[in-house]
Structure formats: structure tokens, C-alpha cells
Amino acid sequence: VKFQYRKHISKGGNQMQIKLIRKNRNLKQRDVAHYLKMSLSNYNKKENGKVKFTLDEVKRMSKLFKTDIEKFF
């Protein structure tokens, strides 16, 4: 049995968790979008579950939010 490395984080509850953490840190979507070097529109789609966050993006957000990556799952 071969295991595939999943580069993208699945849609679902993690977007809501990301939004809550972002708001608790008093950050706006544009702040996080700028930190991730993406457009506000693209970040909004990801946070609202229309597009998946990559694992790299989640790792970077965990640094920005100063929280464990496990909080995103």
C-alpha cells in the first residue's frame, strides 16, 4: 500500500478554526493575506472553504498566529 502525501488541507472545519484564531489575534483578512503573499480575494476564498489551504500556508499561519499547527485541524 502506497501512501500519498497530501499537499492540501481538506475543506471543512479548519477554515472556521482559522477564522476564529485570526479574529482572536485581532488580525484582518488582508493582514493574513499580505503575510501569506496572496491576494485578499484568494485568502477570502480559502478562509471561507471555497479553496483549500496548502500545508505550507497552514504552517506559516501557525507562526503568524503563534499557535500550534494542530489547532488548525
Give tens-digit pLDDT for 15-58: 788 999 999 999 999 999 999 999 999 999 999 999 999 999 99
Higher-pLDDT residue of 21, 6: 21
pLDDT > 70? residue 8 = no
Alpha helices in 11-54, H assignment, sequence order: 13-24, 29-36, 40-47
The whole-number pLDDT of residue 6 equals: 45
The whole-number pLDDT of residue 13 equals: 57
Cell numbers found for residue 2: 502506497
pLDDT > 80? residue 9 = no
8 Å CB contact between 51 and 45: yes
